[in-house]
Amino acid sequence: MYIVNSKEMKNIDELTISKGLQESILMEQAAFSVKEIVEDLNPKKILVMAGTGNNGGDGLAVARLLKNDGYDVQVYIIGNEENASYGFVNQKDICKEYQVDFIDEIKDLNNFDVLVDGIIGVGLAGEIKGELLDIIDHVNSCNCKVVSIDIPTGISSDTGKIMKKAIKADITVTFGYLKIGHLLYPGRSYSGEIKLSQMSFYKGYEKNLKRFLLTEEKIRDILPKRPKDSHKYNFGSIAVIAGSKEYSGAPILSALGAQLSGAGMVYLITPSYTPILEHEPSVIYTDFNKNYFEKNDLIKIKGKIEKSDVILIGPGIGQNSNDFIKEILEKYSHKKIVIDADAIGVIKKVKTNKNMLITPHAGEFQKLLKKEIESIEDIENYSLEKNINVLYKSTTSLITDGDNSYFNVFGNDALSKGGTGDLVSGVIASYIAQGCTVIDSTLIATYLVYKTGYDLGIENTNFTVTPLQIAKNLNRELIKLRGD
Ligand SMILES: NC(=O)C1=CN([C@@H]2O[C@H](COP(=O)(O)OP(=O)(O)OC[C@H]3O[C@@H](n4cnc5c(N)ncnc54)[C@H](O)[C@@H]3O)[C@@H](O)[C@H]2O)[C@@H](O)CC1
Ligand SMILES: [K+]
């Protein structure tokens, strides 16, 4: 499923209209789908709040359709009509013919049971200003159900950010394509339940789109098949190079993630002792009885690294093993490498390539960028400039190779715990070892871990789900995907 920004949506609108489909037809389609959703709420009294752009035009058309079906509906217009769009003016003229009731002031919004937010859609420019600031507060403090047209007023469709103030919707009805702002927080929570309506948009533009929603269907397509007649070497081997005196648990979660999701062979190499074999005896384990890795440790593990199809480096490794990490990234840059946690900072010092994946969360990524992340384009551009794959971990995670990006929205607060990232990186390495591309492996791994965490949170509570529990239950999602 494609995801668009406001510019792409505008291009799609314009291209569709250039093919001969009139704007008023698109508006009628949009309004009809909103009207049906409002009707499902069984309202007695409805207020449509309309801005003076085409989002307002949609709102006016919704009001007219509801009035025509006998509903008690009123319209309140917000903004300067001198600069109104043609779509708005046209719909207002039709509303008058249909005797739609316009009001000049709103006293108590609690007199209405449904509010339709047709104030601003994808045409939002800059921060909300003027009378709208108070109106938004008023809407957010009332008890009515709020249905936003296209995107809640005040949410940026490009970033999901609140542009000073935004309406909190119960339902958002959007048209043709999801917008980035529906998926990224806080836009994701302000949108409430999102309903996507199909429209007659010209599909020829889709070849230009490069952002996608990660779906179960996609995972079914890319999940590797396991041949019955196979041996361990069919499923690849992984060198997990992880841990330090301070963090002896992280390597366990990474190794378990790798082993419990199908890899053929997992070598775990840590500086100090970690009790992995008590958890999973099939892991091949080495430690050096020291606190951190040193550059010359590489000689001792060369054989295992060279036998491995994938290297996972970084979970729990701390900041005292950087020379050793740099040596590995330089020497084995021809191998697939998952670079996690404290190893991520080391990529600033090495030449990177598309065999590599980094897995930063916001704090780690900001350190690489040396500035705050403004939009997902910052992440995509970094990936392009550094020629490296990126998994940006957040409640909505982004997976990108710079050219194509996927949004994973299966995450929630059940995953917001130390150790989840270690598990994810292990599962990613596992699917690379099993023959998937770096990006596909990241899609599969984040899907499996996030979805398992989500399901365990529902069965138990989001407070109590742990990464170890998720690791031990990865099989459940795999069983569902296998279809039995
Ligand atoms: N062909 C089309 O163009 C279609 C457009 N559709 C609707 O049209 C919307 C886009 O319409 P527009 O491009 O006219 O834009 P919008 O109507 O979303 O926004 C423009 C209006 O918002 C006001 N505004 C913008 N930023 C503001 C700010 N910071 N503070 C206060 N007011 C602000 C502008 O003055 C203008 O009145 C979509 O979201 C969708 O609802 C749908 O009807 C489908 C077809
Ligand atoms: K809106």
Task: Tell me which fold the domain 216-482 belongs to.
Answer: UDP-N-acetylmuramoyl-L-alanine:D-glutamate ligase (3.40.1190)
The pLDDT value given to residue 484: 58
How far is CA 319 from its chain centroid? 29
Give the position, in ligand 1's atom list, of the atom nearest the Cα of 88: 14
Ligand 2 centre distance from Cα of residue 455 (Å): 32
Nearest ligand to the C-alpha of residue 139? 2
Pairwise CA distance, residues 195 & 349, whole Å: 46
For a mutational test of ligand 1's pocket, the pick from 49, 124, 199, i.e. the residue with the most ligand atoms closer than 8 A to its C-beta, is 124
Q: Which amino acid is at 355?
A: N
Nearest ligand to the C-alpha of residue 155? 2
In CATH terms, are 3-209 and 216-482 the same topology? no
Q: Which helix (H) or strand (E) holds 254?
A: helix 250-259
* Dihedral (Cα; 39, 40, 42, 43), 10-degree rounding: -50
**390, 357 contact by CB (below 8 A):** yes
- State both tokens at 480: 């569902």
DSSP secondary structure string, 58-105?
HHHHHHHHHHHTT-EEEEEE-S-GGG--HHHHHHHHHHHHTTPEEES-
CB neighbours of 86 closer than 8 A, spacing ≥ 6?
Answer: 23
Beta bridge partners of 48: 75, 116
In the block, tokens 């010092």 appear at 349
421 is an annotated ligand-binding site residue: yes
250 is an annotated ligand-binding site residue: yes
In our burial notation (b when 16+ CB lie closer than 10 A, e otherwise), range 229-246 reads eeeeeebbbbbbbbbbee
Please state whether beta strands 397-400 and 389-392 pair in parallel, antiparallel, or not at all (unpaired): antiparallel
Ligand 2 centre distance from Cα of residue 404 (Å): 28
Local structure of 23: helix, strand or coil: helix
Pairwise CA distance, residues 235 & 471, whole Å: 19
124 is an annotated ligand-binding site residue: yes
In the block, tokens 């699917």 appear at 431
Pairwise CA distance, residues 173 & 312, whole Å: 42
Ligand 1 centre distance from Cα of residue 166 (Å): 15
How far is CA 424 from its chain centroid? 16
Ligand 1 centre distance from Cα of residue 118 (Å): 9
Beta bridge partners of 285: 268
Ligand 2 centre distance from Cα of residue 192 (Å): 13
Give the position, in ligand 1's atom list, of the atom nearest the Cα of 17: 1
Ligand 2 centre distance from Cα of residue 125 (Å): 13
Residue nearest to atom 19 of ligand 1 (CA): 123
Task: Identify the CA nearest to 117 among candidates 176, 62, 43.
Answer: 62
Give the position, in ligand 1's atom list, of the atom nearest the Cα of 10: 3
Residue nearest to atom 39 of ligand 1 (CA): 121
**239: region left, alpha or beta (phi > 0 left; psi from -120 to 50 alpha):** beta
Nearest ligand to the C-alpha of residue 157? 1
**351, 373 contact by CB (below 8 A):** no
Pairwise CA distance, residues 317 & 320, whole Å: 8
425 is an annotated ligand-binding site residue: no
Domain boundaries, the chain: 3-209, 216-482
Peptide bond connecting 186 to the previous residue in cis, omega within 30 degrees of 0: yes
Pairwise CA distance, residues 352 & 218, whole Å: 28
Beta bridge partners of 284: 267
316 is an annotated ligand-binding site residue: yes
Pairwise CA distance, residues 155 & 470, whole Å: 34
Residue nearest to atom 24 of ligand 1 (CA): 124
Q: CB under 6 Å to ligand 1: residues?
A: 13, 23, 26-27, 30, 51-56, 58, 79, 85, 120-129, 132, 149-150, 175
DSSP secondary structure string, 206-250?
GGG--EEE--HHHHHHHSPP--SS--GGGG-EEEEE---SS-SSH
Ligand 1 centre distance from Cα of residue 178 (Å): 16
The residues placing their C-beta within 5 Å of ligand 2, an ion, are 117, 121, 148-149, 153
Instruction: Decide if the complex's ipTM is over 0.90.
Output: yes
Give the position, in ligand 1's atom list, of the atom nearest the Cα of 61: 43
From the first residue on, what is the mean pLDDT of each consecutive set of 10 residues in the chain (484 residues)?
97 97 97 98 97 98 98 97 96 98 93 97 95 95 97 98 98 98 97 97 97 96 82 85 96 97 95 95 96 95 96 96 96 97 96 97 94 93 97 95 97 86 98 97 98 94 93 94 75
Q: Selecting from 3.30.2000.10, 3.40.50.10260, 3.10.20.600, 3.90.1150.10, what CATH number does the domain 3-209 have?
A: 3.40.50.10260
For a mutational test of ligand 1's pocket, the pick from 21, 33, 122, i.e. the residue with the most ligand atoms closer than 8 A to its C-beta, is 122
**381, 363 contact by CB (below 8 A):** no
Ligand 1 centre distance from Cα of residue 127 (Å): 14
| H helix count then E strand count, the chain | 18, 19
Pairwise CA distance, residues 242 & 466, whole Å: 20
In our burial notation (b when 16+ CB lie closer than 10 A, e otherwise), range 139-158 reads bbebebbbbbbbbbbbbbbb
Cβ-based neighbour number of residue 381 at 10 Å: 14
